[in-house]
Every structure is written in C-alpha cells, then in structure tokens.
Amino acid sequence: MTKNDRRAGILAEARKLFAARGYARTEMENIRLACQLSRGGLYHHFGNKRAVLDALVEEEILALADVLRETSVWPIAVLLDAGSCHLGNDPGIVANLNTKEEQLEYLSSLEVAMGQHLNKVLALRFGDIIRPEFDAGHVAELFLTVNMHINRRQILGEWNDAQAAGFAATALQALEKFLKDPSELQSAIAELKKVGNA
C-alpha cells in the first residue's frame, strides 16, 4: 500500500469506529487493531486521536470543495445542498461527538479546514455571481463566517434545526445586495424559512 492508501484506510476505519462506539469511547488502540497495524505504523500517520479527527474533518471539507470545483451549479445552492444538516443532509463525523469538549475540538478542526480548503474555492466561484463593486473573496469569507457561527450554535446545542434555518434564511437575505442576480436565492430562502417556521 502507498502511504496515502494506508492513511485513507486508517481514516475509513476510524470513521466506522467513531460511528459505532462514539468518539470518546474510541481509543487509538481500537483504531490500530481495526487497521491491523503496529503502534509505530499507526503513529507514523497520526500522533493522536485529535489528529485523526482533524483529518476526518479535512476530508469532509475537501469533498465539499471538490463538489464546488466540479459543478456548474450555483455555488450557494451547492453549499446548502451538500452541507446543511438543518436541511436534512448528513451531518458527518460531528454526529458522533457527544461532549462539549469533543464538539469544540471539532469546531476548531472545522474552522481550520474551511479556511485552508474552502475559502479560496468559494471566492473563485463567487467571482461569477458577485456584483463587480464588491470583492468576491470578502463576500466568500463573510458567507463562511456566518456559516461557522451557525455551525457553532447548532453543534453546541444552543440552536435547534428551526433556529439554525431561520438564521440562515436571514443571513441569505442580507447577502442578496452583493449578488448580480439575487433571485437565485429565493428558493433557498423559502426552503430555510419553511424549516425555520416548522
């Protein structure tokens, strides 16, 4: 196996273990045994469980960035379709985190991964839809900052799905003034309002 294949295999096993046992009850030894690796073989790739979590979160964000790169679909629709658990999408690894400490670790990993892998891709995609008097990179960063706030409030249990969707609808309405064609947002806003009023 190549180094990348081995790493991907470790992450696949870790994801399964986190789903079955929960993050807190999964130890590096469980991951090592599931992968049939020596301790050195596992720790060569990941120094601790937090590094595994960072890599799993990074995988999710890279997959979202790939979807943004590869589709011609309007980028905000792509993000809502692929990344909004309050609209019924798969929440990913965060569903296996139960304590506030674990959730805060996840949010820290998420913020880093979004900054490294999603911001530039989104800024490029926003270049086509943002009015020329605004900086597409700034609007992309604003969008991701609001998204991170929604994630934080929902993951920490401060907001339910309806509250998160309602705030997202308000945030998208505020975004309209930056867009060349704000009518593109109407169906997304309507769907979010429907969830927010449920």
Domain map (residue ranges) of the chain: 1-47, 50-196
Residue 160 backbone dihedrals phi, psi, to 5 degrees: -90, 180
What is the per-residue burial (b if ≥16 Cβ within 10 Å, else e) of 147-157? beebbbebbee
Beta bridge partners of 179: 130
Element (DSSP H or E) covering residue 150: helix 136-155
pLDDT tier for residue 83 given thresholds of 50, 70 and 90: low
Q: Residue 85 pLDDT more than 80?
A: no
| Distances 50 to 36, 37, 144 between C-alpha atoms, Å | 20, 19, 23
Q: For 140, left (φ over 0), alpha (ψ -120 to 50), or beta? A: alpha
Q: Residue 90 pLDDT more than 80?
A: no
Mean of pLDDT over the chain: 90
What is the per-residue pLDDT for 197? 81
Task: Name the nearest CA neighbour of 155 among 115, 95, 82, 81.
Answer: 95
Q: What percent of the chain has pLDDT over 70?
A: 95
Among the ranges given (67-81, 82-96, 97-111), the one the predictor scored with the smallest mean pLDDT: 82-96
Beta bridge partners of 130: 179
What is the per-residue pLDDT for 95? 83
117-168 pLDDT, tens digit each: 999 999 999 999 999 999 999 999 999 999 999 989 989 999 998 999 899 9
35-47 pLDDT, tens digit each: 999 999 999 999 9
Q: Are 136 and 181 in contact (CB under 8 A)?
A: no
DSSP string, 49-72: HHHHHHHHHHHHHHHHHHHHHH--
What is the per-residue pLDDT for 198? 64
Fold topology of 1-47: Arc Repressor Mutant, subunit A (1.10.10)
What is the per-residue pLDDT for 86? 44
Q: Are 28 and 65 in contact (CB under 8 A)?
A: no
Mean predicted confidence (pLDDT) in 93-122: 91
